[in-house]
Structure 1
Amino acid sequence: MILLVPADPLRPRRPDEHFAAEAQAARAAGLDVAVVDHDALARGADVRRAVASVSGSGMAVYRGWMLRSERYTMFAEALAERGVVLRTDGEQYRRAHELPGWYVALTAVTPPSVWTTGSERADFDRARVELGAGPAVLRDYSKSMKHYWNEAAFIPDLADAGSAWSTASRFLELRDDDFVGGFVLRRFEQLTSAEVRTWWIDGDCVLTGAHPDSPDDPAPVDFDPTPIAPMIAGLGLPFVTVDLALRTDGVWRVIELGDGQVSDRPTTLDPQRMVEVLFAQAAVDECIADTRVGRRGG
């Protein structure tokens, strides 16, 4: 198993400082570590050069900054030419990274949502009417602007067309070239807890803890992700995170699902523990899969 991390822009042979602790923990656990040029990957420019320092062959997991789905596919293809296979393929990454890829499977446990294709106002208005009057949270397929809550995320009432579009316009301005797919409108639900980040490999929850935005707020001792496990397993995704929060009626709600490769690690999660748990489970699952293939072949 190979861990791939972004290179430091100023020292391209070294891991980016944000991922250096995970890279160090991976090496200590006996894993190979290689760096890639994230900026080149994000631009889609000279992708082969971006992975030129990756040597060896076999299965790999990326831990780095977000990539657009089409860029990730190019990344996977360039690595495959070098004999390195990302454990999460391009189609799986898109389904995890973009809300339309996972929403239907989790409809029962996540806020009602509608989305557009593109950023035209007419499409936005159709989605706004479909969701219906009341408060909503705005995002695109891969990200919200929750740190600009009042100006680019929260819409007090979708029935107010002018105000809703003003929020959408500001969202577009802030996201700029990073806007992905289309607008997503999600029904606002009142929450009473910090978010809990859970880490899943092949449908199994292997880590539970704080969210990166609230690293000092661990999951409650009685938190149990078991009820959503069949839904996550049904997605057939190799490595994802699922963020949950407690609604005012005492029900845990899924706020976000994301590809685990580009999900941030809270500062209170020890990188060595994270690497050991994630990669040990991934290696076991790969061995089981290889054994099954061998049995079928025999």
Structure 2
Amino acid sequence: MTLLVPADPLRPRRPDEHFAAEADAARDAGLDVAVVDHDALTSPDGARRGVARVKESGKESGKQGGKQGGRDDGEEGGKAVYRGWMLRAEQYAAFAGALEDRDVTLRTDAAQYRRAHELPGWYAALAAVTPPTTWTVGDDREAFERAACDLGPGPAVLRDYTKSMKHHWHEAAFIPDLADAGAAWTVASRFRELRDDDFTGGFVLRRFEDLTKAEVRTWWVDGACRLVGAHPDTPDELPAADLDLSAVAPLVAALGLPFVTVDLALRADGVWRVIELGDGQVSDRPTSIDPSPFIAALVRS
């Protein structure tokens, strides 16, 4: 198994500082580590350049003995898992294809990545344990108002297929009442403005639910929960001892996804609710989880 991490933009043979600790932990666990150029991966036709430092499977890797010299270029290929910055689904597909040309296969294929990364891919499977949701294809007002009508009046939270703007809660995330079409569209317009070129798929409207505690981030490998920790936004608020995954576990397993995160929060009535499912490769690790047990959980079969 090879761990692929973004390169430091200023030192392209080294991992980006944000992922350096995970890279060190992976080497200590006996994994190969290779760097990829994230800027190239997100540029048109840049996938081949993005993986140029990943050696083709079966070729000499030219390793310098673990951390010697601090170099991560040219690690041997084969099976690989990515830990890095977010990629659009089409960018990930190009990334996977460029790696396949080098006989390196990502454990999460392009279809699996899209299913985990974009809400419409996983919502139906988890509908029983997550807030009621509607969405549009595209960003026009008529489609937004149809989605709002389908969800019905009352408070809602707005996002797109991959991300919310919860740090702009009142201006671009929370809609007090979908029955007020004008006010709802004002929030949607501001959300679209803030997301700009990162806007993905369409508007997503989720029924607002009263949550009582900070979110918990759980990490799942091959359908089994391997690690439970705080959410990256609240790294010091550790998970509650009464976290109940019994309703969630069979639904996540049925998705058949290799590596995902599931964020949960406790609703005011005492029921644990799924707030988000995401691809684990591009989900941030909270600072309160040490990289060594994290890597151990990731590679555990």
TM-score bin, normalised by smaller chain: over 0.9
Q: In structure 1, the residue corresponding to 2:248 is in which secondary structure?
A: helix
Corresponding residue of 2:43: 43
State the AA in 2 paired with 1:110: T
1:157 aligned counterpart, secondary structure? coil
Letter in 1 for 2:10: L
Q: Counterpart in 2 of 1:18? A: 18
1:258 aligned to 278, 282, 292, which one?
A: 278
- Show the 5 A alignment for 1:179-198: 179-198=199-218
For the pair 1:167 / 2:187, whether they are aligned, the reply is yes
Query: Equivalent pairs: percent with the same residue?
Result: 72
* Residue identity matched to 1:124: F
Residue type at the aligned position of 1:166: T
**2-structure distance, mates of 1:42, 1:129:** 36
Residue in structure 2 matched with residue 232 of structure 1 by the alignment: 252
Which residue identity does 1:148 align to in structure 2? H
Moved over 2 A (4+): none
Q: How does 1:101-140 map to 2 (within 5 A)?
A: 101-140=121-160
Structure 1 distance, partners of 2:96, 2:29, is 24
1:185 shift after superposition: 0.1
Aligned CA-pair RMSD? 0.7
2:62 — aligned with what?
none
Task: Give the count of matched residue pairs.
Answer: 281
**Cα distance, 1:60 vs structure 2:** 0.3
Stretches of structure 1 lacking an aligned partner (at least 5 in a row): 285-298
Q: Is 1:82 aligned to 2:105, yes or no?
A: no
- Is 1:211 paired with 2:227? no
Determine the structure 2 residue equivalent to 1:277. Answer: 297
1:29 aligns with 2:29: yes
Show CA shifts across 1:149-199 (max 9, x none). Answer: 010000001011111101001101110010000000000000001000000
Deviates more, 1:115-124 or 1:43-52: 43-52
Contact 1:44 1:74 in 2 (8 A): no
* Secondary structure at the counterpart of residue 185 of structure 1: strand
Cα deviation for residue 209 of structure 1 reads: 1.0
How many angstroms apart in 2 are the aligned matches of 1:224 and 1:188?
Answer: 21
More helix by share: 1
> Contact (CA 8 Å) 2:244, 2:272: kept in 1 or not?
no
Q: CA deviation at 1:45?
A: 3.4
TM-score, normalising length: structure 2: 0.92
Deviation at 1:265, TM superposition (A): 0.2
Residues in 1 aligned to 2:230 and 2:106: alpha-carbon distance in whole angstroms: 27
Alpha-carbon contact 1:88-1:238 (below 8 Å) kept: yes
**What is the alpha-carbon distance in structure 1 between the residues aligned to residue 294 and residue 227 of structure 2?**
8
Q: CA separation in 2, counterparts of 1:274 and 1:244? A: 19
Give the structure-1-normalised TM-score.
0.93
CA-to-aligned-CA distance 1:11-43 (integer Å, 9 cap, x gap): 111101100100011011110000000011112
Q: Deviations over 1:115-169 (max 9, x none)?
A: 0000000100110111111000000000000010010000001011111101001
Q: Indicate which of 78, 82, 98 corresponds to 1:62.
A: 82
Q: Quick one: distance in 2 between partners of 1:221 and 1:162?
A: 43
